[in-house]
Amino acid sequence: MRSDEAKAEPGWEVALPLGGASLDGVRMAGFRDRAAVGLDLHVLPQPAVVVVLGLGEQPLSVEGTGGHRPLRSLVAALSPGPARIRGEGVECVELRLSPRAAYPLLGVCPRELDGSVADLADLWGRDGRQLHARLAGTPDWQERLTLVTGFLAERAARAPAMAPEVAAAWDTIVARRGRVRVADLAASCGWSRKRLWSRFSAQTGLTPKRAAMLVRFDHAARALSAGAHPADVALACGYVDQPHLHRDVLAFAGCTPTALAGRATTAG
């Protein structure tokens, strides 16, 4: 889901935290389907772990490589594979966690999500159920977002942080939009390529090279969705040529750049 796109969709109520983001690496928004337009969303890989805290009466319907599952709340890995989420009367709080935030907040390394859309209850257990009950009993959006912020702050305070070298490598990849060499990343943090590869993969769930490809794909996907021509997107996003862009889009999204540009997003 992409909360920045959902704001433009008619029929959706969107709530953002007053004063902006309060936790580093966390973007948060509340959504309510006021006009009963329904949700039908193809999940795209993106450089964030997406958590959806469902508050509606009906669970979300998740279709993926593992079949169909009804989930009240879910977490989507950085590169979740082909997945589709549908729902009626959707009401939820959505979190987008950068890998450096996801590592302490989820309670597991993103690698353990196994590139899928998983049940959040399997990760947060009783704490998650208690949070859901408090959110369901609180109709005001700002109070809900404050509750979630407090919940996340408590988890972050008692969890191990990502290694500074790994965090710096991730920040560099994002800042350079994926146009970075692994050897340069390793040199900047004083590690060998092998050590960076091992530590980075263990704490983000992706290799440094795959992370750079994902960040570059994310920028390309946004440009394609905005109507840019694939040839222009390939040049602007640092691909060797248009066929290179085609291969990456096919690998990440399972479709061609033209098909990706034509997909309509109904929320997030």
- Whether residue 89 contacts residue 57, with contact meaning beta carbons closer than 8 Å, is answered with yes
- pLDDT tens, residue by residue, 120-176: 988 899 999 999 999 999 999 999 999 999 999 999 888 888 899 999 999 999 999
Residue 29 has pLDDT above 70, yes or no: yes
Of the three residues 134, 157, 180, the one that is the final residue of a domain is 157
Q: Is residue 268 part of a domain?
A: no
- Whether residue 118 contacts residue 81, with contact meaning beta carbons closer than 8 Å, is answered with no
User: How many domains, the chain?
Assistant: 2
Based on the domain organization, do 93 and 134 belong to the same domain?
yes
Of the three residues 157, 182, 211, the one that is the final residue of a domain is 157
- pLDDT tens, residue by residue, 173-195: 999 999 999 999 999 999 999 99
Q: What is the pTM of this model?
A: 0.86
All residues at 6 or more sequence positions from 134 whose CB lies less than 8 Å from its CB, including other chains: 147
- Mean predicted lDDT score pLDDT of the chain: 87
Q: Is residue 78 part of a domain?
A: yes
Based on the domain organization, do 15 and 70 belong to the same domain?
yes
Give me the CATH number covering residue 88. Answer: 2.60.120.10
Based on the domain organization, do 181 and 89 belong to the same domain?
no
Instruction: Find the DSSP H helices in 176-229.
Output: 182-189, 193-204, 208-225
Residue 233: give the domain boundaries.
Answer: 164-262
